[in-house]
Amino acid sequence: MEFIDEKLDDYVCEHTSEESDFLYDLNRKTHLKILQPRMLSGHFQGRLLSMISQMIRPKNVLEIGTYTGYSAFCILEGLQEDGKITTIDCNLELEDFVRSYIEKSNCKSKINYILGNGMDIIPLLNDVYDLVFIDADKDNYLNYYELVFDKVSSGGYILADNVLWSGKVIDEKSVNDKDTKAIMEFNRYVQQDIRVENILLPIRDGLMLIRKK
């Protein structure tokens, strides 16, 4: 589902700061070599993630769902000097591709790339996070949210991607779809969670910005 006219979207992107040459190359190579490149955050959303990170200035970041690493590198742009990002993904086929870009970057010491099931890994993490980005399997969004909540600092933020799910959240024909139901349940739960403040942004496929009180 396209939320704005294609020409208007082009205008928006034309009036958004450019991505770095490094990110441009990662973006391009993802589209050329990797299946489902639509999963990439991309230029526009990537600049938003970078801007949010630069406003928050997080020391510790947790990302659930690395894909090819584009969003992690965007978030890194706002990281404190001594900060780090832990990013988790279960796709073994992408490991070599992701690690090659980590090696090319000038911030590889700040990236902790973990391969495995997030549901198993998150309970083992002991850091307190200023920012968590959830962008993984949709049927576990609510599980991830609960697993990370006590690990988020007071005043910290959780971001969740794909919360409009191509518009299916308002499509009556999609309400029985497993992933759609999971996203709708997540959105409803967050909206009713008195522990947080939240805003759902209609950016790309929907981005939920959540602040822990």
CA–CA separation, 72 and 107 (whole Å): 11
Q: Give the chain's domains with CATH numbers.
A: 6-212 (3.40.50.150)
Note if the pTM is more than 0.85.
yes
pLDDT at 172: 77
pLDDT tens per residue across all 213 residues of the chain: 566 788 988 899 999 999 999 999 999 999 999 888 878 888 999 999 999 999 999 999 999 999 999 999 999 999 999 999 999 999 999 999 999 999 999 899 999 999 999 999 999 999 999 999 999 999 999 999 999 999 999 999 999 999 999 889 998 777 788 999 999 999 999 999 999 999 999 988 999 999 999
